[in-house]
Structure 1
Amino acid sequence: MTASTHTRLPGTPDPMHFWTGHGGIRLAGDSWGDPRGPLVILQHGGGQTRHAWKGAGETLGAAGYHAVAFDARGHGDSDWAPDGLYGQDVMVRDLECMVAALGHQRPVLVGASMGGGTSLVAVGEQHVDATALVLVDIAPKIEAEGVANIQAFMTLKPDGFDSLEDVAAAIQTYQPHRKRKNNLDGLAKNVRLGDDGKYHWHWDPRFRTGTRNLGQRTARLEACARNLHLPTLLVRGGLSDLLSEEGAQDFLRLCPTAEYVSVTGAGHMVAGDRNDIFATAVIEFLGRAVPVGGQPVQPPQPVTPVGEGSGEDIVDVP
C-alpha cells in the first residue's frame, strides 16, 4: 500500500506547519510558544508522531521556549521516502534541514527513542550545533527484548485492522500499564483508512525493513556519547523494557557530565505516560542549561561534520 491509498480519518489534527527536508521531502509539524524564545526541537520515536509531544510542547511554550515537533519522514503527515530508505543518516539530514528552515538558531534537541538516536548522532558527530541535549529512554546500550517488543508491535497486522477497537486492543497489549480509554476518537491520528476498507498504521511499512545491525548501532552511539560536550539530560522510563538501569548507567559512564532522571511509573513512552513529571524535569534542566532570556551555558562552537556515518542506510532500532 502506498501513501496515496491512505485516507486521514476525520478528527485528525492538521499540521500547523510544513517544512522541506532532505531531498525535497515535506515534513509536517506543530509549534508552541514565542518564536523569539530558545528553540527546542522535539523528535519522536519510531512509529510515533509529533502528537506524542503535544503536552510537553505546550508546557515548554508556556515557559517561554519555542517548541517545535515534526513528523519524521514516513510518519504521520510527513511524506513517505520515495526510495523507501529511513536510516539514521537521512534522519540527521532532515534535522539539519529543520534547523536551517527555523532560522539556523542553535536548538535544544529533545529526542525519544529513534528521535533520540538521531539527536545523539547529530550532536556527537557535529552535524548540528545544539545548546543542550535531552535523550528520552534511549542510549547506546539497549535491551534486545525491548527491541523485539517494538518490532512485534509495529509489524502486527500488516494487512490492516478491521476496526478501531482492534487498533485499541493492539495498543493496550503493547502498553498494558496504561488505562484503556473508552473513547476511540484519539486513535484517528494513529491510523489511516485504506482503499481496502481496513485501518493501517500511519507509518510507511517500509520503515521496518532494511539492514539492522545492533552491534554497529551501539558502537556508533557510544562514540557519539563520548563526544558530547554540552549540557545533557537522560530521562528513563522506570518501567522501560528498552533502556534498563544498567544501560542508563553505562551512558553516564560514557558521558559523566550528563544529568539523569528515572520516571517512576512510566514505560518506554515516557512523555505520554507521565508528561507532568517529564515536562517538569526538562524545564528544570533547561532553566539551568538554556534559560529563557539568558545565554546557554555552552558557548557556540563551529560545526564541522566528522563523517557521514557508516556508509549503510541502517534502519534505527528502535
Structure 2
Amino acid sequence: MVANPAHVASSVNRLVADDGIVLATQRWQGERSPGLVFAHGFGQTRHAWQGAARSLNARGFDATTFDARGHGESEHVPRGDYHMEQFVADLLLVAHDATPAGGRAPVLVGASMGGLLGLVAAGESDPARPPFSALILVDITPRWETAGVERILGFMRAHPDGFADYEEAASAIEAYLPHRRERKTEAQLKPLLRQASDGRLRWHWDPALLDGVVQESERYQPRLFAAAARVRVPVLLLSGTRSDVVSSHTVDEFLRLVPHARHVALNDATHMVAGDANDAFTREIASFMETL
C-alpha cells in the first residue's frame, strides 16, 4: 500500500558551494535505488517539485530538491555576478550529496534550466563515473523556441515594483497561466515571494539573474549540443503538448542527437508540465524508474 504523500516527512538542509554560497536543499528519505534529484527551472524554487517528490517518495524513492543559487532560500551571489558554470557546479554538488556511499548515482529530473544544466553536467563528465544514473528532461531541448522563452522573461520582468499583497500576486499569476483552474493561495505563494523593506512583496529570485544568466544562455547552445551528443545514460524527455518552449522540431532534433532517448508528450500540459499534469508526470517518471 502506498503511503499518503501529503504526510511524508522531509528534512531541509544546507549545502555550501565551492565559492561559499549556501544552497537550501530538501530531502525525502527512501530505500529504493537509484534516488532522484530535482532541478527546477529559471525563476522557480524547489517547491515546484513538492507534489512529485512526495508522490515518488511514497513509492519508495529517495528524493532531493533544492533552490538554485539566487532563488528561494538559497543565497544570492554578491554583486549579482552569476554565471552558468556556478549552476552546473552546484548541481554536481547536490548530486554528489544525494549519492549514497558505494551506491548508485541519482536520476536527474530537470525542468527547463535545470534540464539544460543536467545535460552539461552529464555530457561533460567522465563516462565511467557519470553524476547521474539517468536524465529526465522536462520540456527542454538544447534548442528552444525563442517566443516561448521571451514570454516567460516578459512575465518575470513585468512587476519590478512587486505586489501590494498576495491577492495581487495571485491575480498576476492567474493572468499569466489562464488555463490553471485553481487560483494560488497565500500559503502557496509565501515560498515564492519575499517582503521587502518597503512592505511590498517581490519574487524570491535575485533580479540580477535576468542580466547574467539570460544573456549567457544563447551562447551556451553549441556547448549544449556537444554535451547532449555525449550523454550515454538513459534519457527520458517529457514535453507538454501545449508548450511554446519545446516544439516537434526541437524534439525531433534532440532525438536525432540522442537516439537512445525516449520521448513522451503529456496532453494539455504547457511548459509548466509538473504544475499542469502532475499525476501523469509522476506516473511517467515512476514507469521510467522501473526500467533502470
TM-score by length of 2: 0.89
The one-letter amino acid paired with 2:15 is: W
For structure 1, the 5+ residue unaligned runs are 1-13, 290-318
Q: Check the 8 A contact 1:20/1:98 in 2, yes or no.
A: no
RMSD: 1.9
Shift of 1:195: 0.7
For structure 2, the 5+ residue unaligned runs are 1-9
User: Going by fraction, where is helix more abundant, 1 or 2?
Assistant: 2
Q: Check the 8 A contact 1:42/1:69 in 2, yes or no.
A: yes
What secondary structure does 2:77 align onto? Answer: coil
Whole-Å Cα distance in 2 between the matches of residues 177 and 156 of structure 1? 20
**Cross-structure match for 2:179:** 177
**Cross-structure match for 1:46:** 42
Q: Deviations over 1:39-93 (max 9, x none)?
A: 2110000111101111111122122211100000011111111242332211111
Moved more, 35-44 or 141-150: 35-44
Alpha-carbon spacing, 1:199–1:245, altered in 2? closer, same or farther (3 Å): same
Whole-Å Cα distance in 2 between the matches of residues 30 and 232 of structure 1? 24
Alpha-carbon spacing, 1:182–1:230, altered in 2? closer, same or farther (3 Å): closer
How many matched pairs? 276
**Cross-structure match for 1:141:** 143
Q: Check the 8 A contact 2:43/2:205 in 1, yes or no.
A: yes
Question: Whose RCO is larger (CA < 8 A, sep 6+)?
Answer: 1
Moved more, 55-64 or 70-79: 55-64
Sequence identity percentage: 42
Q: Deviations over 1:105-151 (max 9, x none)?
A: 51211100011111111001117531100100110111110111111
Alpha-carbon spacing, 1:19–1:209, altered in 2? closer, same or farther (3 Å): same
**Cross-structure match for 1:107:** 106
Q: Check the 8 A contact 1:134/1:233 in 2, yes or no.
A: yes
Q: Check the 8 A contact 2:52/2:274 in 1, yes or no.
A: yes
The one-letter amino acid paired with 2:230 is: N
**Cross-structure match for 2:24:** 28
Shift of 1:172: 1.6
TM-score by length of 1: 0.82
Q: For 1:246, which of 242, 246, 249 is the aligned residue?
A: 249
**Cross-structure match for 1:299:** none
Q: Check the 8 A contact 1:136/1:234 in 2, yes or no.
A: yes
